[in-house]
Structure 1
Amino acid sequence: MGSVEWTRLEGGQVEAVVAMFVNRERPESVRITPSKGDGGVDILDRGAGPDGTDVVYQVKRYTEKLTAKQERDIKGSLNRLMSDDRWKSLSVREWRLVTPWDPTPEAEDWLQGLGYPDIRKIWHGLTWADQQAAKYDDVIDYYLHGGRALIETTHAQVMTLVGAEKLPEGLSVQEVQRRLHDALQVLDHDPHYRYEHRFGEGDPPPYPRQGERPGMVMHTQLIEPDGGRWSTVDIIARCAASVQERPITIQGAFTAEPGSEFAGQLDAWFTYGAPFTSPEGAFTGELAAPGGIGGALEGGTLWVGPTEDHDLGQNPDLHVEVLDPAGVSLAGVDVRRVERTEGLRGGIRVVLEEIHGVFTTEDRVDLPDRRLNRTLRFGDWSGKPVATVYASLHFLSLLHRPNKIRVSVRNTPPSRGVVDSDGVFDPDHDIFEWLEAILQMLEPLTRLQEHTSTPIRTPDLEGVTQKDMAGWQRVAAVLDGDEITGTHPEGHALMVVLGSDVTFDESQPARILLPLTAKVGGQSIDLGQCEAVLDSPKVLDRRLEGGQVTHALTTPDRTIRWRRHDPTDVEEAGSDV
Structure 2
Amino acid sequence: MVTINWERESGDRIEEFVAAALVMRHGAGCRVTPSRGDGGMDVKLPLANGRWWVVQVKRYSGPLTSRQETSIEKSYGALLAEIARTGLEVERWTLATPWDPTRERLGWLEGFDRSPDGLPATLDWMGRVSLDGLAADCPQLVDYYFGDGAERLTSLMALALKSSITLSGSGPEQLLEAAMERMNDLAKAMEEIDPFYRYEISAIDAIPDHSKLAEHGEGAAMVRFGTGPDGRAVRLRIVPMSDLSAHFRPIRHKVRLHAAPGSGEEAALRDFAATGKPFANVRAEVVKSVGPPGATLGGQSLLSLYVEEHDHLPPMELVLLDDDEVEVAALKLEQARGNLSPAGNGFWMATSDIAGAVDVELKHPGEAREITLGVTFNRPADVPVASLVPVVKFANALAEGGWLLIRAVAGRPLVGPFGRVCLDPSTAKFWEFADLYVRLQAHTFDVVRLPDLSTVSPDDLVRLQFTVRALDGDAPEGIWATQVMQANGIDWPAGDFEGRLLREITMPLAGVDVALHKMLQQRFHSCRVDPNAVLPAGATVCLVPGESNTMSMHALNFEDGMEDGLWTIESE
**1:366 Cα offset (Å):** 1.4
Match of 1:56 among 53, 58, 61: 53
1:166-212 CA-partner distances (Å, limit 9, x unpaired): 99xxxxxxxxxxxx999999966745446758587987999896676
Paired AA for residue 554 in structure 2: R
1:117-141 CA-partner distances (Å, limit 9, x unpaired): 7966664332211212334355445
- Alignment-derived partner of residue 136 in structure 2: 134
Equivalent residue pairs, number: 524
- Taking the TM superposition and a 5 Å limit, the aligned residue runs for 1:230-249 are 233-237=236-240, 240-249=243-252
Cα 1:446–1:127, aligned 2, differ >3 Å: closer, same or farther?
closer
- Alignment-derived partner of residue 479 in structure 2: 486
Match of 2:413 among 382, 400, 417: 417
Checking the alignment, whether the CA contact within 8 Å between 1:58 and 1:77 is kept in structure 2 is no
**1:340 Cα offset (Å):** 0.7
**1:149 Cα offset (Å):** 7.0
Cα 1:282–1:158, aligned 2, differ >3 Å: closer, same or farther?
closer
Q: How far apart are the structure 1 equivalents of 2:100 and 2:497?
A: 107
Tell me, yes or no, if structure 1 residue 223 matches structure 2 residue 220.
Answer: no
Paired AA for residue 259 in structure 1: G
- Taking the TM superposition and a 5 Å limit, the aligned residue runs for 1:542-557 are 552-555=541-544, 557=546
Higher alpha-carbon deviation: 353-362 or 1-10: 1-10
Checking the alignment, whether the CA contact within 8 Å between 1:361 and 1:375 is kept in structure 2 is yes
CA-atom RMSD, angstroms? 4.8
Higher alpha-carbon deviation: 558-567 or 358-367: 558-567
- Alignment-derived partner of residue 332 in structure 2: 334
- Alignment-derived partner of residue 359 in structure 2: 360
Structure 2 SS opposite 1:335: strand
- Taking the TM superposition and a 5 Å limit, the aligned residue runs for 1:373-384 are 373-382=372-381, 383=383, 384=385
- Taking the TM superposition and a 5 Å limit, the aligned residue runs for 1:289-300 are 289-291=291-293, 294=296, 296-298=298-300, 300=301
1:486-534 CA-partner distances (Å, limit 9, x unpaired): 2235xx51456xxx54433344624435247483322457355434236
1:303-350 CA-partner distances (Å, limit 9, x unpaired): 1221x35x45431x2123222343321222111252111112222111
Cα 1:255–1:504, aligned 2, differ >3 Å: closer, same or farther?
same
Structure 2 SS opposite 1:128: helix
Checking the alignment, whether the CA contact within 8 Å between 1:12 and 1:61 is kept in structure 2 is no
- Taking the TM superposition and a 5 Å limit, the aligned residue runs for 1:166-565 are 190=193, 192-193=195-196, 196=199, 216-228=220-232, 233-237=236-240, 240-278=243-281, 283=285, 285=287, 287-291=289-293, 294=296, 296-298=298-300, 300-306=301-307, 308-309=308-309, 311=310, 313-315=312-314, 317-336=315-334, 338-346=336-344, 347-382=346-381, 383=383, 384-385=385-386, 387-397=389-399, 400=402, 403=403, 405-410=404-409, 412=410, 414=411, 416-418=412-414, 420-421=416-417, 423-425=418-420, 431-438=423-430, 441-442=433-434, 457-475=449-467, 478=470, 479=472, 481-482=474-475, 484-489=477-482, 493-494=484-485, 501-507=489-495, 509-515=497-503, 517=505, 519-523=509-513, 526=516, 529-533=520-524, 535=526, 537-538=528-529, 552-555=541-544, 557=546, 559=549, 561-564=551-554
**1:6 Cα offset (Å):** 3.9
Structure 1 SS opposite 2:319: strand
Structure 2 SS opposite 1:371: coil
- Alignment-derived partner of residue 570 in structure 1: none
The normalised TM-score by structure 1 is 0.72
Match of 1:125 among 112, 124, 127: 127
**1:409 Cα offset (Å):** 2.0
Checking the alignment, whether the CA contact within 8 Å between 1:151 and 1:186 is kept in structure 2 is no
- Alignment-derived partner of residue 43 in structure 2: 43
Q: How far apart are the structure 2 equivalents of 1:271 and 1:120?
A: 49
Checking the alignment, whether the CA contact within 8 Å between 1:163 and 1:231 is kept in structure 2 is no
- List gaps (5 residues or longer) in structure 2: 169-182, 558-567
**1:248 Cα offset (Å):** 2.9
Checking the alignment, whether the CA contact within 8 Å between 1:533 and 1:561 is kept in structure 2 is yes
Q: How far apart are the structure 1 equivalents of 2:514 and 2:86?
A: 67
**1:462 Cα offset (Å):** 1.8
Paired AA for residue 477 in structure 2: I
Q: How far apart are the structure 2 equivalents of 1:424 and 1:371?
A: 12
Cα 1:452–1:55, aligned 2, differ >3 Å: closer, same or farther?
same
Structure 2 SS opposite 1:77: helix
Q: How far apart are the structure 1 equivalents of 2:143 and 2:473?
A: 82
Checking the alignment, whether the CA contact within 8 Å between 1:40 and 1:81 is kept in structure 2 is no
Higher alpha-carbon deviation: 196-205 or 6-15: 196-205
The normalised TM-score by structure 2 is 0.73
- List gaps (5 residues or longer) in structure 1: 168-179, 568-572
